[in-house]
Amino acid sequence: MTVRLAWLTLLGLHVPPLLVGFRWGWLAGLLCMVAIHIWVILSIFLPRLAPWGRTKRRFRTSEKQVCLTIDDGPTADTPEMLSILDAAGVRAVFFLIGERVAANPQLCREIRERGHVLANHTQTHPSAWFWCYSPAAQRLEIARTSRAIQDACGENVRLFRAPVGFRNLFNGGVLRELGLHNIGWSARGFDGIDTNVERILQRILATLTPGAIILLHQGKPHHPELLRRLLAELKAREWEVVLRVES
Ligand SMILES: [Zn+2]
């Protein structure tokens, strides 16, 4: 959905309450308006309900294959995370925060030189408010990040993930303008808020299916250990980690 169509959709969603109000009275119209607003809000926080903007949550395969994605870098633990991935012979998709890339361009280059995929995770990671950003504000956050990665590594990124995954109906149009695809996840252990590696691992492993996209984070003390343990568990259970988010 383009940004223009998103605006028309937003305006169009106010027509049914008006019609209901004219036909059955203002209270019915008000209830209809409230119901539509609840649905729009839910579609942001429960993206599966959203009819606008595609989110890729898994890739197509019948093999025991998964894709690993790591959010919020580059951070001080990036070299350690890269060493762990190297030791396991695994490549991942790194969703990077633009201002951290600008502050640590050498880490961004190192991620790329080790064969991983660089992706866009907004400039300032406004996790509390990105879901209600205007198209212009989203464009600024996203375009600045792509530019920061381009400046640091000379690479045009094609993948995007919203902070905590919440997007409003304008995001699809903004991504289309900027040539980006939205990537979600199908397996996660809430490692951004929980620090218990065992508990996080169990959550991830319990939800793995062929084609799963796994969400991990970096930047907190338990993240390197979590990555090491997860890669060992995946190997023991004969899951292959591949770079396949776009197919
Ligand atoms: Zn994030």
Domain residue spans of the chain: 3-49, 65-241
Positions annotated as catalytic residues are 71, 217
Residues 172/155, Cβ–Cβ less than 8 Å = no
Report the predicted TM-score, pTM, of the whole model to 2 decimal places: 0.90
Distance CA 108, CA 118 (A): 8
**């997860």: which residue's tokens?**
230
- The answer to whether the beta carbons of residues 185 and 213 sit under 8 Å apart is yes
Number of helices (H) and strands (E) in the chain: give both, helices first: 10, 8
**Distance (Å) from CA 9 to ligand 1 centroid:** 28
CATH homologous superfamily for 65-241?
A: Glycoside hydrolase/deacetylase (3.20.20.370)
Q: How many whole angstroms from 105 Cα to the centroid of ligand 1?
A: 18
Q: Ligand 1 centroid vs 71 CA: distance in angstroms?
A: 5
Residues 166-210: pLDDT tens digits? 888 899 999 999 999 999 999 999 999 999 999 999 999 999 999
Cα separation, 28 vs 128, in Å, equals 33
Residue 72 CA to ligand 1 centre (angstroms):
5
Centroid of ligand 1 to alpha carbon of 121 (angstroms): 7
Mark out the alpha helices in 46-97 (DSSP H runs): 78-88
- Give pLDDT tens digits for 30-70: 998 898 888 888 887 776 666 666 789 999 999 999 999 99
Tokens of 76: 């001080």
Ion ligand 1 residue ranges (Cβ < 5 Å): 71-72, 163
Beta-carbon contacts of residue 26 (< 8 Å; ≥ 6 apart): none
